[in-house]
Amino acid sequence: MRFCRSVAVVSSLLLGLGCSLAARAQVGAYLGYQSTPITGITCFDPQGQCSDPNGKVYPQGLLMGAYYDFRNIGPVRLGVDLRGGTLHSYKSASSAAGGTNTTVLDDVLLGLKGSMRGPYFWLNPYVQFSAGYARSNATLPFGSSLSTVYPLPRLEDNFIMYEGFVGTSVRLASWLDLRPIELGLGNMNRIGSSGATVDGPSSVGVEQIGASVVFHMPTP
């Protein structure tokens, strides 16, 4: 939960700011669950028996964020979105390791969202592009380190992450929506070095499927 606490604080500030602005503005916060497969990872196991095969690992976990829709342009409602996630996997695509938190991914993304009314008043599809910071050990063989101490210290890489999303919101009440599915596709580019003796590719792909519950200011 390293990033989620910070995102929660900023989300609360964003929600409070929106409440003090124009009544037409729409602000909200959401909480959900997501799976974010990371692709293009090199397997360093000598026998090629990485615990998640085919260069792909599937961390899953909590998603939370907030948004502020501030302007209409024709049928499109523009807004900004801040989100963060903490995800974990029991497997690795870079080594044969397994167990709790074998692969971790934390991210914080800021983006621009465009939504519009669907064929029914209670249906609102949206698209979004976000970019920000991520931290993960997905490309590192588990335990790779310059250190000779035991147990080996945990190393993680820093990444610039960018991702596009599509999804839809279904109104359940004047203050409550459900996002039954959200799909994402993007990339992570490594910044600097983790200091490990062995490291994987500097650029890996990310995919996402998730769902969330949205709490927002009441709408007519």
pTM attached to this predicted model:
0.81
Span 26-72, pLDDT tens digits: 899 999 999 999 999 999 888 888 888 889 999 999 999 999 999 99
Span 66-96, pLDDT tens digits: 999 999 999 999 999 999 999 999 999 988 8
Closest CA to 203 of 142, 154, 155, 162: 162
Closest CA to 64 of 102, 99, 109: 109
